[in-house]
Structure 1
Amino acid sequence: MGQSLVKNYIHIIFTTKYRQPWILPEIELFLHQKIIALSKDMDSPILAIGGSVDHLHILCNLSKQIALSAYLETLKSKSSYWIKGEPLFVANFYWQAGYAAFSVDPKNINLLVNYILNQKKHHETRDFELELKLLKSRYGVR
């Protein structure tokens, strides 16, 4: 085969350092836009982004040109640096070092997009720890 054909849908979750409530409503949209732009620059378009004050969910189509760990290192470091430089945002903003990432069946994309876009409503009844536990169980991660 003369070309590489790749379609990597990845559901990514990461938190603020110590799960601090730093993603306030007044910065959330700007942060999402910055992350979408950074991801686009890495040829990894974001299909959905959402979360709460202490974590983000991202569904992206990860480029065949970048490893997941390099993608996340760039995304997290550049978005954190950007937030610290904005005058009205959180000067001591950091992302937690770890992350969760799961491959997604293309048949489930619409369900996952809906789930990610409705994170605030979802977290009215379920906290992050339970959410992560259920996701780990669903994807068979210990």
Structure 2
Amino acid sequence: MSQSLVKNYIHIVFSTKHREDFIDEKIENELFSYITALCKNLEINVLQIGGTDNYIHILCSLSKKIALMKLVQEIKAHSSKWMKTKGKAYENFFWQDGYGAFSVTEENVFYIKNYIKNQRQHHQQIHYKDELIGILKKHKMKYDEKYLWD
């Protein structure tokens, strides 16, 4: 092929360090806009971003120019620095070390977008830990639970 063609939809999930509640509704939209702009600069198309006070979900289409691991590192590093500029309440903000990333088929993009969009309502019924373990099991991923929660 004389050109490189890539279409990979990825659902990324990670939480704040120790799942501390830093992402309140006052900062949420601004944080999500910041992450979306950061991704755009990396040629990543964010289809949906959402979460609650202590974690986020990102549905994006990967670029052929950046590896998934590097993308997540960039998002975490830059957004963490940015959050710390938002006032005293955020000066101890950190993301957890790890992340989850799951492939999404074209047919499931609409479903995952809606799922991410409604995270605050969704988590009135299900805890983040149960949700993440459910996602891992659905994708048949091996994991050690003692390393999921830092």
| TM-score, L = length of structure 1 | 0.97
1:55 alignment counterpart: 55
Unmatched 5+ stretches in structure 2: 143-150
Q: What SS does structure 2 have at the residue aligned with 1:26?
A: helix
The answer to whether the aligner puts 1:74 opposite 2:74 as a matched pair is yes
Distance in 2, Cα, partners of 1:87 & 1:96: 20
What's the offset of the Cα at 1:87?
2.8
What's the offset of the Cα at 1:89?
4.9
1:103 alignment counterpart: 103
Distance in 2, Cα, partners of 1:79 & 1:89: 15
Instruction: Note closer, same or farther for the CA distance 1:28–1:89 as it changes in structure 2 (3 Å cut).
Output: farther
Q: What SS does structure 2 have at the residue aligned with 1:46?
A: strand
CA deviation profile, 1:69-109 (whole Å, cap 9, x unmatched): 10010110000001101236511110001000001101100
Amino acid at match of 2:71: Y
Distance in 1, Cα, partners of 2:114 & 2:73: 26
Q: What SS does structure 2 have at the residue aligned with 1:97?
A: coil
1:83 alignment counterpart: 83
The answer to whether the aligner puts 1:7 opposite 2:7 as a matched pair is yes
| TM-score, L = length of structure 2 | 0.92
What's the offset of the Cα at 1:133?
1.0
Distance in 1, Cα, partners of 2:83 & 2:53: 14
CA deviation profile, 1:43-83 (whole Å, cap 9, x unmatched): 00100000110000000001111011100101100000011
Q: Quote the sequence identity (%).
A: 44
Aligned length: 142
Amino acid at match of 1:48: Q
RMSD of aligned C-alpha atoms?
A: 0.9
Amino acid at match of 1:32: F
List aligned pairs for 1:116-127, cutoff 5 A. Answer: 116-127=116-127
2:134 alignment counterpart: 134
Q: What SS does structure 1 have at the residue aligned with 2:111?
A: helix
